[in-house]
Structure 1
Amino acid sequence: MVLFGLGRLFYVILLLINAVAVLSEERFLRRIGLGRSNDEAPVFGQDQNTTKSKVVQLIGAVQTLLRSMLI
């Protein structure tokens, strides 16, 4: 008996994508330090590919993609 099949895996992935899509930047993401702001741009010599910046970019990309699918 398979407890965790492809159907459940697809369902879990879909729910996680939905959870990322509905996160509010003003209410939640800025509070935990994951909001996009202009003053946090990398300066000379600073690594711009940190894990935090990649997570922020991923959240923004998912939200933009799902917004564009609704139009």
Structure 2
Amino acid sequence: MLLFGLGKLFYIIILFINSIAVLSEDRFLARIGWGRTQAEPSFGTSYDNSSVKAKSINLIASVRTVMRIPLIVINTVVIVYELILG
């Protein structure tokens, strides 16, 4: 019974990471103001990197960068598992 719950939790986590990884920065994130490319700050000013929005943008960019290859492997393993034992 416990493994059944952990298996579903694993699928939910994989789907959530996949959904973050496929977000297009140009097509979707930039339109809602969550793109990383912004104008240069003027002299003496800087970006607020401590806001929740800035941290969320950095998290999305990090997940897209770091998890690209591991997600391909994990998705392949899950697909093969589902095809064989599913």
1:24 correspondence with 2:18: no
Structure holding more helix per residue? 2
After superposition, the Cα gap between the structure-2 partners of 1:40 and 1:57, relative to the gap in structure 1 and judged at 3 Å, is farther
- Structure 1 match to 2:68: 67
| Gapped regions of structure 2 (runs ≥ 5) | 73-86
Greater Rg over alpha carbons, structure: 2
The one-letter amino acid of 1:18's match is N
Residue identity in the other structure for 1:58: L
Identity %, equivalent residues: 51
Distance across 1 between alignment mates of 2:6 and 2:68: 27
Structure with more contact order per residue of length (Cα contacts < 8 Å, sep ≥ 6): 1
Q: Does 1:54 align with 2:59?
A: no
Partner SS state of residue 35, structure 2: coil
Deviations 1:7-66 (A, max 9, x none): 11110010000000000000000011111014265x25x642100000000000000012
Alpha-carbon separation, structure 2, partners of 1:11 and 1:54? 25
Relative to the length of structure 2, the TM-score reads 0.65
Aligned length: 67
RMSD value over aligned CA atoms?
A: 2.4
SS, match of residue 39 in structure 1 = coil
